[in-house]
Amino acid sequence: MRKNPVKEDIARIKRELAALNGMKIRIGIQGDEGSEVLMIAKVHEFGATIRVTPKMRAFLHHIGLHLKADTERINIPERSFIRKSYEASRQAINRFAGEKISDVISGKLTATQAVERIGAYCVQITQGFIDEGKVSPKVSDFTQAHKTQHTTLYQTGTHIRDRITFIVE
């Protein structure tokens, strides 16, 4: 009995679309919840308020930042690099994802190949957002005086930009 190529292709498309429907791509810094790099990335992405301890006050004084006696907290501004890069590039990402889904339907890619390419594309978009200097929080006079030529997310020593990756769930 001869196989029907149209039915086979429809079955393949259904299989691949079902696989796509069950996948999720996570872009960002991957790591264990307690990892230092993940904590630093979260502070950059969302900002933070830190309670000033005597040890911190002494350290800051040592490097030339003299806090007022009544300063109890330091506010670190948000430096969103994931959410803002996504918002700035949403149309391009949607267009690229649509092209990859079309490639799945036409048989050029599998569902897995498509999501891996979409993930890699989103990583490039996020890194490019940083490289282009689009992550620009308000900068204090002290920070400005001690700033290097690198953009935000390079300075911490953890090289957040280079650790941006994706996982497929």
Half-sphere exposure in the Cβ direction for 139 (13 Å, CA)? 12
So where are the chain's domains? 5-46+79-168
- pLDDT tens by residue, the chain, 169 residues: 778 889 999 999 999 999 999 999 999 998 888 888 888 889 889 999 999 999 999 998 898 888 888 999 988 888 899 999 999 999 999 999 999 999 999 999 999 999 999 999 999 999 999 888 887 766 666 566 655 544 555 555 557 888 999 999 9
Amino acid at 108: K
Tokens found for residue 30: 């991957």
Nearest residue to 78 via CA among 155, 138, 15, 140:
138
Look up the pTM and report it: 0.80
Tokens found for residue 58: 């002494």
